[in-house]
Structure 1
Amino acid sequence: MKRYRHAVDLNHGICQTSDLGSFQSLAGAITMPSTDDITQQVRKETRLFFFLIVVLFPLLSVAIVGGYGFFVWFLQMLLGPPGSPH
């Protein structure tokens, strides 16, 4: 079950649910997040996208190919090179 962290401002009767990203009054009405919140969210998502594309995926590709190469090399050390046994 997912947990939500709430911040309640009792003076203004506003409850912010951080997981949902929207503001909710204590009466239950949902209001739109401010443009600053949306801008920060877009910047955060853009940085994450570029991190995934530029850093994480290339490193994972090198690690997977290198791991496969090491696995084949190690098997050839144990079982011998491929080909006929003669």
Structure 2
Amino acid sequence: MAKPNKKLPTKSVDIFCAKCGCKLYRYRKGGKGSLVKCFRERITEDYTTAVGVCPECNTIFGREMLIRGAPSIKMIGGKVRMK
């Protein structure tokens, strides 16, 4: 399968917990759709302590998995919001 592009997108977004509003990631997102997955190589700043768990309210917002052969975090619908 095809891997994600090595060249990072120029658009950066902040990802927040939908429950408590805690900042989780700064992510280089490509495209204009909703946030379904986060490739680990595109995360520029990580504010979490455990993968897929909010550091303030301990809500599980994603699962770690391989997508297209690259490590990534598959987001659970409605648990995160992006700005």
Q: TM-score range by the shorter chain?
A: under 0.3
Q: Counting strand residues as a fraction of each chain, which structure ranks higher?
A: 2
Q: TM-score, with normalisation over the residues of structure 2?
A: 0.27
Q: TM-score, with normalisation over the residues of structure 1?
A: 0.26
Q: If you compute each CA radius of gyration, which structure gives the higher value, 1 or 2?
A: 1
